[in-house]
Amino acid sequence: MKKKINYLIILLTTILIVGCTNVEDASITDEKTDPQEVTAVNTNKNSEKEETSTTVVDEPVGEETPAQSNSEQFSGYKLIEVDGGDLSGYREPNAVVDIGYGDREYWAFTNEYGQLVRVIADEIILQDDRNEPVTSSGRYYSDEAKVPGVERTDLDEGHIIADSLGGVSNAYNITPQESTLNRHGDQAYMEDAIRKAGGATNFEAIITYPNTETQIPSHYQYTYTLRGNKVVDSFDNVNPDEVNATLGLTENKPSNSTSSSKSGDISSVDTNGNGQVTIKEAKDAGFSMPITSDHWLYPYMRDNDNDGMVGE
């Protein structure tokens, strides 16, 4: 009997020892499992960081909208480069050319007939005669492209975007334009308004023609923004004085005795005393460009292209 009790005690002791061993093993197993779970959480956090980094990298791509916009604007046109002073009157059909001097981006478009039909610019940046190579007559180049039609005595080599507004002189910025319109009419007024405003934004010129055979436009329409105001100038390629006379608007015209025609002291403008006044000297003296043939300063200035204006 006593032996049976001893065996029972030994059996119970063995069961207790085995039970404790299992509990310890389970505890050890749990401790080993915890680090693995933590590692899994860390891996997920790293994945989230990588996705955020990818999003940041994508952001600059979204900022390249202008390049994508140009690609869409230029669709169907051949982008070519033409020297700003190229005197050839030839234009390639369905072409787009940058006609802005220096770093300016002014884009000119031709149709299938080589006619200049559209010019656009996000911003018109005025000529900087202090830092840009400008001739004494206020131009980037000594002459303009010989587009067919400019040989007519009543037509000028008219800039769509003038030198003073940062435009070049090749055929993609020149059209045969009625002389009075170019020098004293709506074209001249528009350019003067942009100069006085210090530039313009959202500029667009639409040029139309009477037929597909000529390079002489029949109509111009300019749309641009000045000091936050949208302006639309639309006019035919005709002599405005003749139109006004036909409409009876030139009768009893007051005499042209404005301050621009009054004489002055050239010594206050001619700083080097050589008897000639440059564009820079005139601007420094406070005179606005262009100086026209009726201005008292005009005889003292060089009008290289003999168009009756200096510094246009």
Among residues of the chain, what percentage have pLDDT more than 70? 72
Q: 204: which strand partners?
A: 120, 223
189: enclosing H helix or E strand: helix 186-196
On average, the pLDDT of the chain sits at 80
pTM of the model: 0.62
Q: What is the pLDDT of residue 32?
A: 44
Report how far residue 187's alpha carbon sits from residue 181's, in angstroms, rounded to the nearest whole number.
6
- pLDDT at site 8: 62
Given the structure tokens 């100086």, which residue do they identify? 291
Identify the band that residue 285 occupies on the pLDDT scale cut at 50, 70 and 90: confident
- Say whether pLDDT at 15 is over 70: no
The predicted pLDDT at position 70 comes to 79
Would you say 175 and 181 are in contact if contact means Cβ atoms under 8 Å apart? no
CB 153 within 8 A of CB 87: no
Contact 190, 180 (CB under 8 A): no
Condensed to tens digits (0 to 9), the pLDDT of residues 98-131 reads: 999 999 999 999 999 999 999 999 999 999 999 9
Between the ranges 60-74, 94-108, 134-148, 248-262, where is the mean pLDDT highest? 94-108
Residue 57: is its pLDDT beyond 60? Answer: no
What is the amino acid identity at position 82? Answer: V
Note the pLDDT of residue 227: 92
pLDDT-derived band at 169, boundaries 50, 70, 90 = very high
Which pLDDT score, from 0 to 100, does residue 5 have?
59
User: Between 307 and 43, whose confidence is greater?
Assistant: 307
* Span 179-194, average pLDDT: 94
Going from the C-alpha of 172 to that of each of 22, 159, 169, the distances in angstroms are 92, 9, 8
* C-alpha triplet 124, 119, 60: angle, nearest 5°: 65
| 3-state SS, one letter per residue, for 230-290 | EEEEEEECCCHHHHHHHCCCCCCCCCCCCHHHCCCCHHHCCCCCCCCCCHHHHHHCCCCCC
| pLDDT of 279 higher than 50 | yes
- Specify the pLDDT at position 9: 64
Q: Count CA atoms closer than 13 A to 32's CA, side-chain side.
A: 6
Over 50: is that where the pLDDT of 247 sits? yes
CA distances from 219 to 47, 99, 200, 222 (A): 62, 21, 22, 10
Q: Centre a 10 Å sphere on the Cβ of residue 135 and count the other Cβ atoms it contains.
A: 15
Question: Stretch 3-25: mean pLDDT, rounded?
Answer: 57
Domain 77-246: CATH architecture, name and number where available: 3-Layer(aba) Sandwich (3.40)
Mean pLDDT of 14-37: 49
51: three-class secondary structure by DSSP: helix
For β-strands 78-80 and 95-98, DSSP reports them as parallel
48, pLDDT greater than 60:
no
pLDDT of residue 36: 40
Q: Domain residue spans in the chain?
A: 77-246, 259-310
Query: What is the mean predicted confidence (pLDDT) over 286-311?
Result: 80
What CA–CA distance (Å, rounded) separates 265 from 260?
Answer: 13
Q: Confidence class of residue 291 from pLDDT cuts 50, 70 and 90?
A: confident
Average pLDDT over residues 209-233: 97
pLDDT (0 to 100) of residue 303: 80
Alpha-carbon span 29 to 266, nearest angstrom: 103
